[in-house]
Amino acid sequence: MSSTVPISQGTNNLTAPTPQNTPLQHAPISSGLSRPTVPDIAEEGKDDEESAANEGEMTSDALQNAMAGLVQGRLAGLVGKSSGYIESLPTEVKFSVEALKGIQVKHTQLQNQYKRECLELEKKYLQLQQPLFERRKALISGSEKPTEDEIVAGEAQSAKDDEDYTSLPKESNYAATAAAIPEFWLTALRNSIGLSDLITDRDAEALKHLTNITLEYLTENKDSDKDTEGKPGFKLLFEFSENDFFTNKVLSKTYVYQEEVGYSGDFVYDRAIGTKIDWKEDKDLTKEYEVKKQRNKTTNRTRFVKKAHPTESFFNFFDPPQLPSDDVIENGEIDPEELEEIEEKLEMDYQIGEDLKEKIIPRAIDYFTGKALEYELMEDGEDLDDLDDDDEDDFDDDDDEDDSDDEDNDLPATRRRGGKRGGAGQNVNPEECKQQ
């Protein structure tokens, strides 16, 4: 085989550019070779025209954005400023305006009193519900067996919700032995639209040990916890059995309200307080661990270093974000985008707390069976039946999509198409205490 390498350069120093020993400089074999670089004049002119057009579009868009920002800024500056109408009123009319403000103060005081009494009413009925929640815990854990009356009432409700419901065999003599319900709370949480996206596969292994979720209202006396300062609010308690992840038996999350109701007449969240989780070694689900190899430049000895990085996890719920102080915000010591991100996280955190308090804890069985999912979709203006119709319209003979459909068919019937409309199931969300 002939070679294009000049003989005068010799062959002793030639090195083939293999992956194992690629030289810093190209070997003579490829030296001086390159692709033709003759420019195409027509294409070059076309590129110039397209570039000029794009610059014109960018200039126009930038101008429009600048004008929109200017107008929006000026309009925002007018918010809260007087038009001069109130100031132009006669003095005797201004007295009436101030009197109306005084009446509004009294109305706000009554609204505060009303909300406080509603809160006391919630506390009263929570105490009345405690025996039912204790009974539920016993059935879930399998420490007690269901009674005949409980089973009959449950089957009657199932038949009311689903006309295709098949009754359980009566020869079993209504559950002669107690039987625990595996992964009850994990399933219930995963069937909640707001929580399902937060639970990772790693979290699920720990949440299999979740045995109960309960609700407590904060006491508002002077001897209450210093963290809550006697303010209204509630606490969520997550009870766990022995597990490989942490030593805590109970993880809690506290939500504190402001003492005065907001402008809309509802309680306003003041802050959330989490729990320090005592993770077992290398079991922190809120972190991912990376092992890196390091070499000492002096001794040339190597060592392995483990570094932890924050990661998405349901258990971040117990370490809520904290809003900066008013002074930090007013002094501009925090970036506006960072502040907005914190506020969004807090808003989502408060919503999760409300969902647990108002929906999941009172109706845990509906979330376990998937029945509550239908009503959550109805709140959002969707319907499970409509979703199924859309799926059928998009049906394709592709094997991969067939496999996906088969997986959907494995879901409980109530999650795929929902039960019969109406019945007690309509009251998924406890009706708020409303002023008559």
**Amino acid code (one letter) for 159:** A
Rounded to 5°, angle at Cα 47 from 46 and 49: 65
Q: Which long-range contacts (CB under 8 A, 24 or more apart) does 217-225 make?
A: 217/119, 217/122, 217/123, 217/126, 218/254, 218/256
The model's pLDDT over 4-38, given as tens digits with 9 standing for 90+, comes to 444 344 444 443 333 333 334 443 333 333 333 33
What pTM, to 2 d.p., does this model score? 0.67
114: confidence class by pLDDT, cuts 50, 70, 90: very high
Mean pLDDT of 98-118: 93
CA dist 198 to 94, 275, 286, 316, 349, Å?
Answer: 54, 18, 12, 9, 11
Written as six digits, the tokens of 69 are 């920002």
What is the DSSP-derived secondary structure letter of residue 312? -
Which of 2-16, 62-76, 91-105 is predicted with the least confidence, judged by mean pLDDT? Answer: 2-16
Give the contacts of 189 (CB within 8 A, at least 6 positions apart).
195, 196, 199, 207, 210, 314, 360, 367
Helix (H, G, I), strand (E, B) or coil at 218: coil
Query: How far is 148 from 372, CA to CA, in rounded Å?
Result: 25
Query: What pLDDT does 313 receive?
Result: 96
Q: What is the mean pLDDT of residues 277-282?
A: 94
Q: What is the mean pLDDT of residues 403-413?
A: 44
Mean pLDDT check: name the lowest of 57-66, 132-141, 143-152, 386-395: 386-395
Whether the CB-CB separation of 385 and 418 falls below 8 Å is answered with: yes
SS3 262: coil
Instruction: Walk me through the domains of the chain, giving residue ranges and CATH numbers.
Output: 108-162+180-380 (3.30.1120.90)
Q: What string of DSSP letters covers 69-92?
A: HHHHHHHHHHTT---SHHHHS-HH
